[in-house]
Structure 1
Amino acid sequence: MRVCLLTPSPGHPLLAATTALLTPRHRVTALDPAVSPDPAPGDLADVYLLKTRTPRALAFARRLEERGAPVLNSAGSTGQCQDRTAMAEVALRAGLPFVATATEPSLAVLAARGGPAYPAVVKSRHSRRHDLVARVDDPARLAALAADWPDEPVVVQRFTPNDGWDHKLWVVGDHVFAGLRRSELAPPAGTGTESLPLDRLPAGWLDVVRRVGEVFALDVYGVDLLDAGGSPLIVDVNAFPGIRGQAGAPEALAALALRTAEGHHTPRTLLQPATC
C-alpha cells in the first residue's frame, strides 16, 4: 500500500513514528500542498493523511477527494474545525456541551464597544499556529491586546471557573488517548502533558468525545475539555492534532491508514458542505 502524508513537516514525531511502522512493508511518501503539484493521473496514493490545515492544503485535499482518493480527515471536516464560530454553532446545535461563544469582527471593535463581561477568554476566530488565546480580566488587558491585534476577528467566551487543568483527549479511529496539561490561561503555566488513564475520566466523558467525532465527521481528532463542576465543557476541537508522547498513537494511526487504504474503513465526511 502507498500512504501519502500531506504536510510540510513529515518529521513530526507522530508522523515519523507512523512512517517507521509502515515502511517495512508499505511505501510512505510526503507532499507539501503549499508547493507540490497535484499528482499525475494514475499516480494517486491509496490513502492520504491530512496533517496541515491551510486553505491551500484544504483545496489540495478536496481535489484529491474529487478524484476518488480517501483522505483522513476529509477536507470539509478539517475546514469546519478552523472557524471557531462555525465550530461552536455546529457543536451547540448537536447538543454537545460546548462553551457559549460570541463572535466579534475585530478586537478593536470589541474594545471600542467597552469589552465583554469580565473575566472572559478571547481567541482568534480562525484557528492556526500562533493564534490568539488570552484571558481578559479588565479593560486595560483588552486595550493592550487590541493594540497588538487590532484587526483580528475573534470569538469571546465567558471564563469558566475550573481547576486550571485542560483535559486533552485524542481519538484515532476506535482508539482514545487522554492527558492532562496545565492550562495556558492558569498560572503556573506547564510545559508538558501527563498521560491520563481512561478509567480516571468521569463517567460519560468518553461518550461526549466520541460524539464529537460523529458530529464533526472526524476520524483523527482532539477535544479540549474543562472540568466544570464535574461536567465536561468542550472549549476546542482539533482536526489531526499532534498527539505527542501518547503510547500506542502511532500504531493506531498506522492501522487506521492501512484499513482505509485497503477499503475496510471509509473516511467520515460531512453530510453538508462546510460553512467556513
Structure 2
Amino acid sequence: MGFAWQTQHSMSVTSLLTCVRVGFGIPVRVCVNGSRRRQKYSAVPIGKQCLNLGARGLLSMASWNALDSMKPRFFLKLLRVVSIVLTVHDHKNCLKCSKRSRFAYPLSQGEYMDICLIMDNPETPHHPVIAVALQQLSTTHTVRLLDVRTLTGAEAIAQEKIHVLADLYLLKSHAPQALDVAYFLEQHGALVVNSWASSSVCQDRVRMAQRMLEANLPWPQTRSFATLENLLADSHLLASLPFPLIIKSRYSHRGDLVDKVHNVEQLQALAAHWSREPVVLQEFIAGDGWDIKLWVIDERIFAARRRTPLEADASKEDFPIASKEIPGRWIDIVLELARAFNLRLYGVDLLITERGPILVDINSFPGFRGVPGADHALVDLVERLLRETKTL
C-alpha cells in the first residue's frame, strides 16, 4: 500500500471530518462540510475504501510531498505528529461518506476558492458596488456572508468555527465583534483584508493620529479626552482652546460625532447627547470649501470633489476627477498612507489648504458607492489575492 498526494499549495485542515473517495489516478476535488474548497489531488488505489482525515493542524506542501513513497507506519507516525488521525474504513458503511455530493467531486476546469465577506449592515448584500462584485466572484468561487450585527464576538467566532477556513476574508465591518472574529481568523492562519491590525487603527482616531505622525503624513493636530464630560470639567483647558475646532468621537462608528464648534457653549450643548463619549479635538484648518474624496483599491486610485459636510446645506453630490487629472502629490500621499497603515482597500478625505493637502479622515474598506469601475477593481484585487494564496 502507498500514498501519493500532489498539491499546488498548502492545505489547511480543521477538526471537521474530510472524506475523500479515491481511485487509481483519479483526480478528486475536496469539499469539506459542504464547502466548495477545491484543490487538486491524485490518489493510489485503496480498494473500495476511503481515507478519513479527522484533522487538527496544518500540512505544508513540503510535508504532503514527503508522504510520497513512505511506508504506512512512517506515514501514520508523521500524521500523529501533526495531530491528524488517519483511518481506512469501509466506504459503503460510512455515513458521512454516503453523502457523496458533500465531499467528493471530479475536477472541472478552473480553480475554485472560498471567499467570506464579514459584514454588519443588512444593505451590504444589495450595495450597488459590493453586490455586483460578489455576484461576479460567485460565478467562479464560493462566496458566503458572515453577518455579525446581532452577534457578540464570541458568537461570531463560534459561528465561523463550523466552516472550513476560507481562502480570503473581506472585512467590511468596523463593529467590535467583527474585529474580534478577524483577529481570531488571523491567529488561525486566515488572510483577512484589510487586516485586523490595519482596520483597528482606522477605527481609533488617536492611534490614527499617532500613525500619521510617525509616517510624517499631513494631519491636523489632535488631542484626546476620556469623555466629553471630562473635557468640560477642565475650566483652565476650556479657556485656552483655540476655537474653532473639530470635535469627533474617538472611535469611528456609524452615527458617530463629527462637528465644528466655535465656543465653549457649543461644546456644552453637545454634552446633552455625548457626555460619556470618548472624543478628540482637532485643529480647524480652512480649506477651499471642498473635500477631496480619494478611494484606493490596491493602488488603483479614484477621486472626486464633494462640498465639505461642515457647511450648512452642503450637497453630498460627488464630482468625479479623471485619473489623469489627479495631482501627483495626492497620489504620493495616499500610497504612502497605504504603506504606513498596510491597507489594500480604503478611502481618505483630503483638504486643500494654504499648507498644502491635509488628510482629515481614513475609512478602511468603504463602500465605493458611485465610484465608476470600483466593482471591477475590487474583483481584480480579490482574484490577485487568491492567486497569491495558491503560491504560498
TM-score, normalized by length of structure 1? 0.90
Which AA in structure 2 matches 1:97?
A: P
Alignment of 1:103-118 (within 5 A): 103-114=224-235, 115=238, 116-118=241-243
Query: What displacement does 1:185 show?
Result: 0.8
- 1:19 paired to 2:141: no
Alignment of 1:162-241 (within 5 A): 162-229=287-354, 231-241=356-366
Which AA in structure 2 matches 1:137?
A: H
> Which residue, out of 90, 113, 127, partners 2:211?
90
**Could you tell which deviates more after superposition, 139-148 or 56-65?**
139-148
**CA shift in 2, pair 1:11/1:265, >3 Å:** farther
**CA shift in 2, pair 1:111/1:200, >3 Å:** farther
Provide the C-alpha distance between the structure 1 equivalents of 2:301 and 2:390, rounded to a whole number of angstroms: 17
Which AA in structure 1 matches 2:199?
A: T
**CA shift in 2, pair 1:113/1:199, >3 Å:** farther
**CA shift in 2, pair 1:112/1:200, >3 Å:** farther
Provide the C-alpha distance between the structure 2 equivalents of 1:225 and 1:265, rounded to a whole number of angstroms: 37
Provide the C-alpha distance between the structure 2 equivalents of 1:231 and 1:80, rounded to a whole number of angstroms: 25
Matched residues, number: 266
Which AA in structure 1 matches 2:119?
A: T
- 1:145 paired to 2:258: no
Provide the C-alpha distance between the structure 1 equivalents of 2:160 and 2:265, rounded to a whole number of angstroms: 52
* Structure 1 gaps, min length 5: 267-276
- Counterpart of 1:28 in structure 2 is 143
Provide the C-alpha distance between the structure 2 equivalents of 1:13 and 1:146, rounded to a whole number of angstroms: 37
Which AA in structure 1 matches 2:196?
A: A
Alignment of 1:118-137 (within 5 A): 118-137=243-262
Mapped contact 1:175–1:252 kept (Cα < 8 A): yes
Provide the C-alpha distance between the structure 1 equivalents of 2:342 and 2:271, rounded to a whole number of angstroms: 35
Mapped contact 1:38–1:60 kept (Cα < 8 A): no
Provide the C-alpha distance between the structure 1 equivalents of 2:355 and 2:325, rounded to a whole number of angstroms: 13
Provide the C-alpha distance between the structure 1 equivalents of 2:334 and 2:390, rounded to a whole number of angstroms: 20
Deviation per CA, 1:56-87: give whole Å up to 9, x if none: 11110111112222111011110011110110
**CA shift in 2, pair 1:42/1:103, >3 Å:** closer
Query: What displacement does 1:40 show?
Result: 4.0
Provide the C-alpha distance between the structure 1 equivalents of 2:230 and 2:199, rounded to a whole number of angstroms: 29
Query: What displacement does 1:139 show?
Result: 2.0
- 1:99 paired to 2:214: no
> Which residue, out of 165, 171, 174, partners 1:44?
165
Deviation per CA, 1:17-49: give whole Å up to 9, x if none: 111221222221111135343434771222111
> Which residue, out of 53, 64, 77, partners 2:174?
53
**CA shift in 2, pair 1:139/1:40, >3 Å:** closer
Mapped contact 2:228–2:279 kept (Cα < 8 A): yes
Mapped contact 2:297–2:377 kept (Cα < 8 A): yes
Provide the C-alpha distance between the structure 1 equivalents of 2:324 and 2:220, rounded to a whole number of angstroms: 25
- Counterpart of 2:114 in structure 1 is 2
Which AA in structure 2 matches 1:58?
A: L
Provide the C-alpha distance between the structure 1 equivalents of 2:142 and 2:176, rounded to a whole number of angstroms: 27
Deviation per CA, 1:133-184: give whole Å up to 9, x if none: 0000122211111222111111101111111211111111121111112111
**Could you tell which deviates more after superposition, 180-189 or 209-218?**
180-189
Asked which structure has the greater CA Rg, the reply is 2
Query: What displacement does 1:50 show?
Result: 0.3
- Counterpart of 2:68 in structure 1 is none
- Counterpart of 1:271 in structure 2 is none
TM-score, normalized by length of structure 2? 0.64
- Counterpart of 1:269 in structure 2 is none
Provide the C-alpha distance between the structure 1 equivalents of 2:374 and 2:390, rounded to a whole number of angstroms: 18
Which AA in structure 2 matches 1:147?
A: A
Provide the C-alpha distance between the structure 1 equivalents of 2:365 and 2:373, rounded to a whole number of angstroms: 16
User: Aligned with 1:39: secondary structure?
Assistant: helix
Question: Between the two proteins, what is the percent identity of the paired residues?
Answer: 41
